[in-house]
Amino acid sequence: LPLFLVLGLAGMFGNQLLYLLGVYYTNANIASIFQPAIPVWTALIAIITRIEPFPPVTKLHGWAKILGILLAAVGAFTMSIKGGLSNNGDSSEALGYVFLLGNTLCMSVYVLIQKRFIFNVEDSTWRSKPVTVTAWSYMFGAMFMALASLYYVNKPEKFHHIPREEVYPIVYAIFIASALCYLLITWCNMQISSSLVTATWPLQVLFCAVLSYLVLDEVMNSLQYAGGVLIILGLLGVVWSNYSEEK
């Protein structure tokens, strides 16, 4: 149970709270710029803690993994820089950067703790139970969220006044963007390396741009096209590297 408490604190509570605080003090565009750091943090921490071996730099697939992660991160950053970072020197915005940095670190720590103490342990009773792992982690995360909500205990309107047009986004955020995504992350983490799991993170930016074009008629600019190509090339490099290592 202490392990699930840590997973809930880092992955469900800390990750989402710090992200929301980061968006609050900066903006959604800046928040998206920080997200490609997740696969980079994951790869670095995994290597430092020896959860994953250092990619062999004497072999092509070793460089493919290193450059692939960096390419995907750079590609996502390139697609996200529309609007850019502001230069107003606002201390609250600097605080937002700290929150977003913590958000990316929390997500990396979450998948790596799962890998190290559950899926890499031969006699772990939870090793083949990704749904149970997610459920227990989510329970503790929800408990921390409930405690955090006490901040609004003297503002009851925050709890029962939800505009009708916000109901569907909230339901989607709870069941799809949160619960289902965490379950899929856990299942993938059980099957493949953590660095490969998080290497797909930059695809969020690419899919967001494509869906914005298809649904909202937002035109993609040249930077977004270039970033999309870098993301695809980077992920192909990581996947090929992982395939070569397992041969």
* pLDDT tens figures, 160-204: 667 777 788 888 888 888 889 999 999 999 998 888 888 888 777
Residue 152 within a domain:
no
pLDDT given for residue 158 in this prediction: 61
**Is 50 inside a domain boundary?**
yes
Closest by Cα among 93, 79, 81 to 224? 79
Is 128 within the bounds of a domain? Answer: yes
Predicted TM-score (pTM) of the model is 0.81
Q: How far is CA 99 from CA 35, 129, 196, in A?
A: 12, 32, 25
pLDDT at 224: 67
How many domains does the chain contain in total? 1
Q: Which domain holds residue 210?
A: 1-144+164-246
Is 156 inside any structural domain? no
User: Is there a domain that residue 154 lies in?
Assistant: no
77 within domain boundaries: yes
Segments of the chain with pLDDT less than 50: 83-84
**pLDDT given at position 91:** 66
For residue 63, what pLDDT is reported? Answer: 82
What's the rounded Cα separation, in Å, for the pair 219 and 222? 10
155 within domain boundaries: no
Q: Which pLDDT score, from 0 to 100, does residue 113 have? A: 94
Residue 19 in any domain: the answer is yes
Per-residue confidence (pLDDT) for residue 159, from 0 to 100: 62
How far from each other are the two terminal CA atoms of the chain, in whole angstroms? 36
d(CA 94, CA 203): 26
pLDDT score for 139: 93
Cα gap 41→64, rounded to integer Å: 17
Kindly report, residue by residue over 203-213, the tens digit of the pLDDT: 777 787 778 77
Q: Kind and range of the H or E element at 124?
A: none
Mean pLDDT of the chain: 81
Instruction: Establish how many alpha carbons lie within 13 A of residue 40's alpha carbon, considering only the half-sphere containing its beta carbon.
Output: 16
Per-residue CA distances from 74 to 3, 49, 118, 234 (Å) = 33, 24, 31, 9
